[in-house]
Amino acid sequence: MAVLGLLQPGPAHGFAIKRRYDELIGRDRELKYGQVYSTLARLERDGLASGVGVQPGGGGDRKVYAITDAGVTELETWLMTPQLPQARPAELVTRVVLALVAGRPAEPILDGQRRVYLARMRELTAARKGADAVARALADFEQAHLEADLRWIELAAARLGPMREALNTGEEATDG
């Protein structure tokens, strides 16, 4: 959908789409050229984008793509459909539960994760200084998630005793 969304403003070739994605969305996780071109091929196959010409480029001719009416409809639907929360537990929850099941202490896991999250939050705070609006929005989004994860870490730390007991006895854990 990101590639389709980057075609919305106007026709573009894969190199331009990749560059725009990397600067807007993928700042820390760039898109690979192969992903762009395979995605464009799928979008064209599915009638969501179409080749509209060829543009000379540094390494040869570049096929230019445009979003189709069906692509606009698909993009609009995707943009306006709320994202569902993750149904599966985060890896951190899995680590804590497995440590408790194995009779290991979970406190060092939570403490280590807390340190990593706090360090990342300091990095995000520093990165906001002089950042553009998109970079600030990305940092704010990540910071909000880190803050929620830190709240969970505090709750989990407070409930390790009842969780440990429940896991070792087969009973349900209660808020404790």
Q: pTM for the whole thing? A: 0.66
CATH number for 2-80: choose from 3.20.20.70, 1.10.1420.10, 1.10.10.10, 1.10.1370.30. 1.10.10.10
List the single range of 63-72, 80-89, 102-111 with lowest mean pLDDT.
80-89
Q: Which of 2-6, 65-69, 83-87 has the lowest mean pLDDT?
A: 83-87
State the alpha helices, DSSP H only, in 8-106: 14-24, 33-45, 69-80, 91-101
pLDDT 10s digits, 117-151? 999 999 999 988 989 998 899 899 999 999 999 99
Domain borders along the chain are 2-80, 91-169
| Short-list 77, 51, 82, 72, CA closest to 4 | 72
